[in-house]
Amino acid sequence: MTPPTPPLLRRALVAVVAVGSVVGVALNAAGASGARSHSGAPAVLSAPKSLVGLAPELPHSVIAAAGAPESGWRPGKARYGTASRNDIAVRGAAGTTIRVNEIYPTDRSGNPAKGKFPVILTMTPYGKGSGGSSAPGSANSAGGGSPTGGANNYLVQRGYIDIVEDVRGTGDSGGQWGLFDPIQQRDAIHVLHWAARLPHSNGRVGTYGPSYLGIDQMLLAGTVGKHSPLKAIFPMVPANDIYRDTSFMGGLLDAEFSSVYLGLTGTLNTLSPPLDALSDPSLLADLASIETDHIGGLASYHANFTAQTLAGSGADYDETYWKDRAPGQLLRRIVANHIPAFIVGGEFDIFQNGEPLNYAGLQNAWAHRSVNAPMQPEQRTTGRYQLIVGPWEHLNASTVDVNSLELEWFDTWLKHKHTGMGSTPTPLHYYDLGTGTFDETTTYPFTDSAPTKFYLGANGALARHKPTTAGTTSIDWLPVGSPCGRPIDQWVMGGISIPSHTAGVLAPCADGDALSKLGPGVTTFTTAPFRRARSIAGPIAATLYATANTSETEWVAQIDEVTAGGRSYPLTEGALLGSLRAVDSSRSWRQHGVVVLPFHPYTKASARPVVPGRQTTYRIQIFPTLATIAKGDRLRLTISTADVPHLTPLPAAVPKLIGGIYSIAHSPQAPSSLTVDLRRP
């Protein structure tokens, strides 16, 4: 979850991670630099730099669609300077000291501006001094701010007070850090009420920020009561389910992301306090106790919790620990608390799956429907809950320039300006990877989509009709995966593709055909050329009927678009550990009687060993996408048995996987299939 733009010494730490990414680019650039975009390729490969660069921007059409067509709202010019009070101590839960920076509007003389202003709050674990905050008492007329953790000067200059909080156990706050520890929300409630009572506050508070900061907002909005000062949130790239979206995929450990993220947060939690004390000597008196708390967090969470998870202590299942940290569990309470939410996400974000689920759940809660169900076709929607999904990885989606959009959102709910955002007819703004344009729509799954099955067949066929003869395809379990595909880049948050685009070459491994050349651990199934353009729109599922000679299996399913020239481009992926194959039908999504999103409980009680030699049904959830497949192009399903370094079986599972040989059936009695939502573009 994205760290902010750091000061000089912190930047050196982040550079270590960046070097690894650049090395990866160099190793793969030779194969990528010769790739050329074409009309059938996902537009993310050929879109203008404004959509895939280091600082992507939103098209004006999307910003306009977020409000009512008749709205005359326009972002005002900067009216104020900014100044700050730094390292303010606020009493948090159980008396723990939580430190914040306050950035406030000033007049031309540098004095606090007269009047009452709404407050915007962001809660960061990456250090509140990471850019944007002015020196105490100084006037600053520079625009903008850090959307990832530092001050948002753009909003302050237009009449807002900005509070940047160091989350418990991070930065200069006391206590010990744990990943989304519920006590952090109790701390935030203390800060929230303190901020609402500031002398120049009008008592109304909104929250902003990406990634961890975005998830914090949703957890806070679901924890406060109906009469809280919190009146609106603007979470960017937030998860729906921390277990599924961050730590495990299909019951398999997301080792790639976890190792990078835990290493980064552990380093920042240790080094941030002494670095901050260099610029703020008032912290020196508390530095020893802060460092003691933070080092205790390294022992209790980074070391101990990680060791317990790898040992299979129970954290490898989606049970109490993860449910207490899942924003999706709080969607109904967010709506009940009358808190509007504007979400920004990315199709290649690590939270690619959770962001549309958050949108559907919030819209359903507003419509008094189940938050765990798919939206109904033509369902009435509200502009109080909006979602933008663009062609971005996590880092790109975290840095989209949303200043004017945030301003309009907070002007709507914190200043009661008539912007029309609450009544927009199209609150869902989803980028089509095939056409290179945003689809302005309403429901998820998409209203005009219909589930369509493609059946696996002999000779790698993927066809609309069931097989008429019995057949099987065999693959072997191998402990290595493909270096190609989206996940290797997606789960390092764009650390490969972003510098690749900056260097003027396409993302490494854009050619998914390499998957079919990796040997017995991979097999592919491909459709005939599409007779007309069709859009894959929304959730995807693969159903495999298979036997194995082992008591555990590992499945990875990737979706590619294959061009008329034979090149393939990875779109999305899903995975499943065989012992966690149980499906909860009450939580699974159905359209027209067809399961489009199988829900796996991933609990210890639901785990069942694979019986060697017995045909077993595996329903693999594949993350959603919106991609128009051009006429003449084909759709490909790639089945493999590993995805390294992204996914890693826990140590206890590895002996049960070694030597595995899987046989996938495609017969009238066992018609393995791929289900996608199709619609005309």
User: What integer pLDDT is reported at residue 193 of this predicted model?
Assistant: 98
CB atoms within 10 A of CB 442: 18
Q: What are phi and psi of 608, to 5 degrees?
A: -140, 130
User: What integer pLDDT is reported at residue 37 of this predicted model?
Assistant: 37
Query: What whole-number distance in Å separates Cα of residue 165 and Cα of residue 174?
Result: 12
Angle (deg, nearest 10), helices 212-223 and 183-196:
80
List, in sequence order, every beta strand (DSSP E) within 357-415: 385-393
Describe the strand order of the beta sheet including 248-249 as a list of residue ranges: 248-249, 252-254, 647-648
Classified as helix, coil or strand, 213 is helix
Domain 450-482+518-679, CATH number (from 3.40.50.300, 2.60.120.260, 1.20.810.10, 2.40.128.20):
2.60.120.260
Tokens encoding 127: 């250090």
Q: Which residues contact 507 (CB under 8 A, 6 or more apart)?
A: 32, 45, 489, 496, 497, 500, 501
User: What integer pLDDT is reported at residue 171 of this predicted model?
Assistant: 85
* Closest by CA position to 505, among listed 49, 34, 50: 34
CA distance readout (Å), 626 to 421, 540, 584, 634: 24, 11, 26, 15
CB atoms within 10 A of CB 198: 16
Q: Which residues pair with 637 in a beta bridge?
A: 525, 559
Query: What whole-number distance in Å separates Cα of residue 437 and Cα of residue 440?
Result: 9
Task: Give the pTM.
Answer: 0.87
Classified as helix, coil or strand, 142 is coil
Query: 53-90 burial string, b = 16+ CB within 10 Å, else e?
Result: eeebbbbeebbebbbbeebebeeeebebbbbbebbeeb
Query: What whole-number distance in Å separates Cα of residue 156 and Cα of residue 478?
Result: 55
Q: Which residues contact 148 (CB under 8 A, 6 or more apart)?
A: 2, 3, 4, 5, 126, 130, 209, 210, 211, 213, 398, 399
Q: Which residues contact 630 (CB under 8 A, 6 or more apart)?
A: 39, 40, 434, 530, 533, 563
* Closest by CA position to 356, among listed 390, 321, 314, 323: 390
**H helices, E strands: number in the chain:** 18, 26
> Which helix (H) or strand (E) segment is 308 a member of?
helix 306-310
* Closest by CA position to 206, among listed 398, 99, 340: 340
Query: What whole-number distance in Å separates Cα of residue 10 and Cα of residue 8?
Result: 6
Residues lower than pLDDT 70 in the chain: 1-56, 69-70, 130-150, 255-314, 481-485, 496-518
User: What integer pLDDT is reported at residue 73 of this predicted model?
Assistant: 82
* Torsion sign, CA atoms 505, 507, 512, 517: positive
Q: Which residues contact 645 (CB under 8 A, 6 or more apart)?
A: 255, 256, 481, 488
CB of 492 closer than 8 Å to CB of 21: yes
Question: Each residue of 544-597: pLDDT tens digit?
Answer: 999 999 999 999 999 989 888 887 888 899 999 999 999 999 999 999 999 999
Question: Each residue of 532-542: pLDDT tens digit?
Answer: 999 999 999 99
Burial (CB count <10 Å: 0-12, 13-18, 19+), residue 494: buried
* Closest by CA position to 93, among listed 184, 206, 2: 184
CB of 626 closer than 8 Å to CB of 538: yes
User: What integer pLDDT is reported at residue 147 of this predicted model?
Assistant: 38
DSSP string over 609-662: ---TTS-EEEEEEEEEEEEEEPTT-EEEEEEES--TTTEE--TTTHHHHTT-EE
